[in-house]
Amino acid sequence: MLRASGGLLAISQDPLGRPGVLAMQITNSSDTSPAAAATTNIEQQAWTKELQNGGQAILFFNRAEHALNMSLAWESTGLVHGTRYRMTDVWGDRPPIVIDVPATRGIGEGHTVTVPAHGVAVLHAQPMTGILPL
Protein backbone atom coordinates (compact mmCIF):
# COMPACT_ATOMS: atom_id res chain seq x y z
CA MET A 1 0.00 0.00 0.00
CA LEU A 2 1.35 3.42 -0.96
CA ARG A 3 0.97 5.98 1.77
CA ALA A 4 0.50 9.62 0.81
CA SER A 5 2.39 12.23 2.82
CA GLY A 6 2.31 15.94 2.12
CA GLY A 7 5.44 16.39 4.23
CA LEU A 8 7.30 13.77 2.24
CA LEU A 9 6.28 15.40 -1.04
CA ALA A 10 7.43 18.77 0.28
CA ILE A 11 10.86 17.29 1.08
CA SER A 12 11.06 15.65 -2.34
CA GLN A 13 10.08 18.86 -4.13
CA ASP A 14 12.02 21.30 -1.91
CA PRO A 15 12.98 24.39 -3.97
CA LEU A 16 16.64 24.21 -2.92
CA GLY A 17 16.89 21.11 -5.11
CA ARG A 18 19.70 19.37 -3.22
CA PRO A 19 19.96 15.59 -3.51
CA GLY A 20 19.91 13.27 -0.53
CA VAL A 21 23.29 12.15 0.80
CA LEU A 22 24.11 8.78 2.33
CA ALA A 23 25.22 9.61 5.89
CA MET A 24 25.48 6.14 7.46
CA GLN A 25 25.37 2.54 6.29
CA ILE A 26 25.74 -0.69 8.25
CA THR A 27 25.87 -4.13 6.68
CA ASN A 28 25.30 -7.52 8.28
CA SER A 29 28.46 -8.86 6.67
CA SER A 30 32.10 -8.83 7.69
CA ASP A 31 32.95 -8.13 4.04
CA THR A 32 33.72 -4.39 3.89
CA SER A 33 34.29 -4.21 0.14
CA PRO A 34 32.22 -1.73 -1.90
CA ALA A 35 30.70 -4.67 -3.79
CA ALA A 36 29.36 -6.17 -0.56
CA ALA A 37 27.88 -2.83 0.50
CA ALA A 38 26.01 -2.62 -2.81
CA THR A 39 24.17 -5.89 -2.22
CA THR A 40 21.44 -7.13 0.08
CA ASN A 41 23.92 -7.15 2.98
CA ILE A 42 22.79 -3.61 3.84
CA GLU A 43 20.91 -3.63 7.15
CA GLN A 44 20.72 0.07 8.09
CA GLN A 45 21.01 3.34 6.22
CA ALA A 46 20.58 7.00 7.10
CA TRP A 47 20.20 9.68 4.45
CA THR A 48 20.17 13.45 4.88
CA LYS A 49 18.98 16.23 2.61
CA GLU A 50 19.57 19.94 3.00
CA LEU A 51 16.33 21.91 2.65
CA GLN A 52 15.45 25.52 1.96
CA ASN A 53 15.42 27.93 4.94
CA GLY A 54 18.00 25.93 6.92
CA GLY A 55 15.89 22.80 7.26
CA GLN A 56 17.21 19.26 7.07
CA ALA A 57 15.49 15.99 6.19
CA ILE A 58 16.79 12.83 7.85
CA LEU A 59 15.67 9.38 6.71
CA PHE A 60 16.42 6.16 8.60
CA PHE A 61 15.94 2.93 6.62
CA ASN A 62 15.84 -0.41 8.49
CA ARG A 63 16.17 -3.55 6.36
CA ALA A 64 16.62 -5.85 9.37
CA GLU A 65 14.11 -8.51 10.45
CA HIS A 66 13.51 -6.70 13.76
CA ALA A 67 12.97 -3.15 15.02
CA LEU A 68 16.14 -1.14 15.61
CA ASN A 69 17.08 1.95 17.59
CA MET A 70 18.94 3.86 14.90
CA SER A 71 21.21 6.81 15.65
CA LEU A 72 22.99 9.42 13.62
CA ALA A 73 25.78 11.53 15.11
CA TRP A 74 25.14 15.26 15.17
CA GLU A 75 28.06 15.80 12.76
CA SER A 76 26.36 13.53 10.21
CA THR A 77 22.88 15.06 10.44
CA GLY A 78 23.75 18.34 8.77
CA LEU A 79 22.21 20.20 11.72
CA VAL A 80 24.05 23.31 12.92
CA HIS A 81 25.69 23.10 16.35
CA GLY A 82 24.25 25.50 18.91
CA THR A 83 20.85 25.62 17.21
CA ARG A 84 17.37 24.64 18.39
CA TYR A 85 15.22 22.67 15.93
CA ARG A 86 11.60 21.61 15.72
CA MET A 87 11.74 17.95 14.66
CA THR A 88 8.64 16.63 12.88
CA ASP A 89 8.02 12.95 12.14
CA VAL A 90 6.98 13.14 8.49
CA TRP A 91 6.13 9.47 8.00
CA GLY A 92 4.93 8.26 11.39
CA ASP A 93 2.62 9.37 14.13
CA ARG A 94 5.11 10.74 16.66
CA PRO A 95 4.35 14.26 17.92
CA PRO A 96 6.82 17.02 17.01
CA ILE A 97 9.67 17.57 19.46
CA VAL A 98 12.19 20.33 20.10
CA ILE A 99 15.84 19.34 20.04
CA ASP A 100 18.88 21.38 20.99
CA VAL A 101 22.01 20.50 19.04
CA PRO A 102 24.92 21.06 21.46
CA ALA A 103 27.07 24.10 20.73
CA THR A 104 30.24 22.04 21.25
CA ARG A 105 31.10 19.29 18.79
CA GLY A 106 31.44 15.81 20.26
CA ILE A 107 28.89 16.40 23.03
CA GLY A 108 25.94 14.04 22.95
CA GLU A 109 25.51 11.17 20.57
CA GLY A 110 23.03 12.64 18.13
CA HIS A 111 19.44 11.76 17.43
CA THR A 112 18.01 8.25 17.93
CA VAL A 113 14.73 6.90 16.61
CA THR A 114 13.12 3.45 16.78
CA VAL A 115 12.47 2.10 13.28
CA PRO A 116 10.29 -0.99 12.76
CA ALA A 117 11.53 -4.03 10.84
CA HIS A 118 11.70 -3.25 7.10
CA GLY A 119 10.54 0.27 7.94
CA VAL A 120 11.53 3.89 7.60
CA ALA A 121 11.51 6.99 9.75
CA VAL A 122 11.54 10.35 7.97
CA LEU A 123 12.24 13.43 10.06
CA HIS A 124 12.10 17.11 9.13
CA ALA A 125 14.25 19.40 11.27
CA GLN A 126 13.42 23.09 10.97
CA PRO A 127 15.57 25.65 12.84
CA MET A 128 13.73 27.72 15.43
CA THR A 129 14.48 31.40 15.92
CA GLY A 130 17.47 32.21 18.03
CA ILE A 131 20.74 30.49 18.72
CA LEU A 132 21.51 28.66 21.97
CA PRO A 133 24.05 30.31 24.29
CA LEU A 134 27.60 29.02 23.99
* CA distance readout (Å), 122 to 29, 46, 48, 58: 26, 10, 10, 6
The pLDDT tens digits for 85-110 are 999 988 877 788 888 888 876 656 77
pLDDT for res 75: 83
User: Regarding predicted confidence, which is higher, 134 or 63?
Assistant: 63
pLDDT at 2: 47
Distance from C-alpha of 96 to C-alpha of 59, rounded to nearest angstrom: 16
More confident residue, 35 or 23: 23
CATH of 6-131 among 3.10.20.440, 2.60.40.1180, 3.90.1170.50, 3.40.50.40:
2.60.40.1180
Q: What per-residue confidence (pLDDT) applies to 103?
A: 80
Q: Where are the domains of the chain?
A: 6-131
pLDDT of residue 34: 64
pLDDT band for position 22 (cuts 50, 70, 90): very high
Please compute the mean of the pLDDT values over residues 109-131 and round it to a whole number: 86
- Residue of 76, 86, 131 whose CA lies nearest to 108: 76
Residue 36 has pLDDT above 80, yes or no: no
